[in-house]
Amino acid sequence: MSAIILAGGLSSRMEGANKPLMEFGDTTMIGRIVDNLKSIFSEVLIVTKNQELYQDYDAEIVLDKFEHQGPLSGIHAGLEASRTENNFIVSCDMPFLNLDLIRYMLNQSVEDILVPRVEGHLEPLHAVYSKQCLPKIEKAVRREKFKIIEFWEWDDVDVRYIEQTEVERFDPNLYTFFNINTRKDYRQALEILTKMNKEELD
């Protein structure tokens, strides 16, 4: 499979900062994600609307051609560019990826989508999508349905779930799904990173 990182957001709540490029340990937030994914994927793609921002990372850059249609258009661009049938898709603001959980997800069978369901919420930006989703996303966009979960509502979209009990086998703290939207989130993430680094040393 391939890994696709969605980095097309506006970072509107980050007070002028581009969150994927914010410092995170000895790299940047997206740098940490790329490095982790490269350890288990031979193909890593970054989907963005600004190609120049991510030239220094060891990943293929894919331009999101749709305008202002959010992560659904990024998923479409990534799937279209990918060389593999099934693809792990993740947002650029989720820096605490658990590789054992990802491996577990990759070993599950999937028709269209495999998505975690945690605390009653779906995690569509940490999920496996097949290329079979491409025409179904296009149908949703033609009908002006731009939210990810909206295109799942079609009868012909097969969605399977990874339940919370399965996730907690690998990540009991659920750090995997901690996403960074605000400066407060960023400060909290740095605290979690410090804690995780200390636990590794101990």
Write out the binding residues for Mg(2+): 93
Q: What is the dihedral of CA 170, 60, 145, 11, to 10 degrees?
A: 80
Q: Please tell me the distance from the alpha carbon of residue 73 to that of residue 67, in angstroms, as a whole number.
A: 8
Q: Please tell me the distance from the alpha carbon of residue 121 to that of residue 21, in angstroms, as a whole number.
A: 27
By C-alpha distance, which of 122, 118, 90 is closest to 106?
Answer: 90
Q: Please tell me the distance from the alpha carbon of residue 98 to that of residue 86, in angstroms, as a whole number.
A: 19
Q: Please tell me the distance from the alpha carbon of residue 198 to that of residue 106, in angstroms, as a whole number.
A: 29
Residues making up the binding site for GTP: 6-8, 19, 64, 93
By C-alpha distance, which of 5, 2, 45, 15 is closest to 186?
Answer: 15
Residues making up the binding site: 6-8, 19, 64, 93
By C-alpha distance, which of 151, 152, 154 is closest to 138?
Answer: 151
Would you say 94 and 112 are in contact if contact means Cβ atoms under 8 Å apart? no
